[in-house]
Amino acid sequence: MFETFEREGYLISTDPAQFDLDAIHAYLVRAYWCQGIPRETMERAIANSLCFALFRGKAQIGFARVVTDSATYAYLCDVYVLEEYRDKGLGKWLMECVMGHPALQGLRRFSLATRDAHGLYRQFGFRELSKPESKMEILRPDIYR
């Protein structure tokens, strides 16, 4: 079952049939966190995630992707609102829709990484890592170049 939310001429949908993959790729290919991401990689990531697309009319103007098992863990990523639509509360509304989604309730851990949007995510309960020494990763920052 897909979710749809409407507000003041904007729409958020979790229905992949509505996603504008060209618009998503056009933004993500230049985003600092996945610059140069191949279209096929992005499509595979979207197909295996819970995604939220933000629209103004038929134009896709924002997006958020959640990698989750829908039971214990979720990782929020690929969140954006196009520059010309920022400062309208749309990022906050997008996050409200993400955080309220039924598949994301009762999780033990919900994480994300951000360079510059800490203030937005703090409004939804996200904090710096409580025990960063217990976290490990394999990081390949230039994998798409």
Residue boundaries of the structural domains of the chain = 4-134
The letter for the amino acid at 111 is S
Mean pLDDT of 22-40: 97
Tokens encoding 131: 């025990």
| Helix ranges (DSSP H) in the chain | 21-28, 39-47, 90-100, 118-122
Query: Mean of the per-residue pLDDT values for the chain?
Result: 97
pLDDT band for 145, please (50, 70, 90 cuts).
Answer: confident
Q: What is the pLDDT of residues 86-107, one digit of tens each?
A: 999 999 999 999 999 999 999 9
Mean pLDDT of 121-143: 95
Query: What pLDDT is attached to residue 6?
Result: 97
The answer to whether residue 1 scores a pLDDT higher than 90 is: no
- CATH class, 4-134 region: alpha beta
Read off the pTM.
Answer: 0.95
Tokens encoding 12: 């958020």
Dihedral in degrees, nearest 10, Cα atoms 27, 65, 61, 91 = -110
The answer to whether residue 133 scores a pLDDT higher than 90 is: yes
Kindly report the backbone phi and psi dihedral angles of residue 96, in degrees, each rounded to the nearest multiple of 5, phi listed first: -60, -40
- Residues of the chain with pLDDT > 70, as a percent, come to 100
Query: What pLDDT is attached to residue 110?
Result: 98
The DSSP code for 145 is -
